[in-house]
Amino acid sequence: MKIAIEEAYAGIKHGHGGPFGAVIVKDGEILSRAHNTVLLDGDPTRHAETRAISIAAKKLGTYDLTGCEIYSTTESCPMCFSAVHWARIDRIIYGTQIDDVKKLGFNELTISSEHMKEKGASNVALSGGFMRRACEELLEAWDSMSEKRVY
């Protein structure tokens, strides 16, 4: 999670996108690390989690990331939760929640990962609130920036 947070700080420092980072781990080894590049790429699909998944999948040569876990600084939006599901990632470990980010002005769908999992009958396990304070500080740091942009 420390590396996911570092990623997010690097992303906002350069104005690449929102204050979000993700890391995918398999057997104790980091497969990929990524931050949100919606503004850099002008591409609404390039969240931290989807980018981390694309990079890890390319590295392993398959869409199937069974046996992996993903650390994400904030609870995955429904797009990213669903991408994790399609990738067969075992578990999402996250810090802050969608509601925390919605308050900052992002155009979030108001659907929690717990709801996505239950309604969608997904096997993805969820562990929220991990290193929550450090992830909150990241959001606060972004919120205090003068040149911040929501999307």
Q: Which residues are catalytic?
A: 49
C-beta separation of 5 from 138 below 8 A: yes
Q: CA torsion, points 94, 99, 101, 103, in degrees to nearest 10?
A: -160
Q: Is 97 in the site for a second copy (CB under 8 A)?
A: no
Q: How far is the CB of 6 from a second copy (least distance, A)?
A: 23
- Would you give the distance in Å from CA 6 to the centre of its chain? 13
Residue selected from 5, 19, 26, 50 as contacting a second copy according to rule CB under 8 A: 50
d(CA 43, CA 123): 28
Residue selected from 1, 23, 87, 139 as contacting a second copy according to rule CB under 8 A: 87
Give the length of the chain: 151
d(CA 88, CA 25): 13
Residue selected from 115, 129, 133, 145 as contacting a second copy according to rule CB under 8 A: 115
In the complex, which residues of this chain contact a second copy (CB under 8 A)? 38-39, 41-46, 50, 53-54, 57-58, 60-65, 77-79, 81-83, 85-88, 107, 109-111, 115-116, 119-122, 151
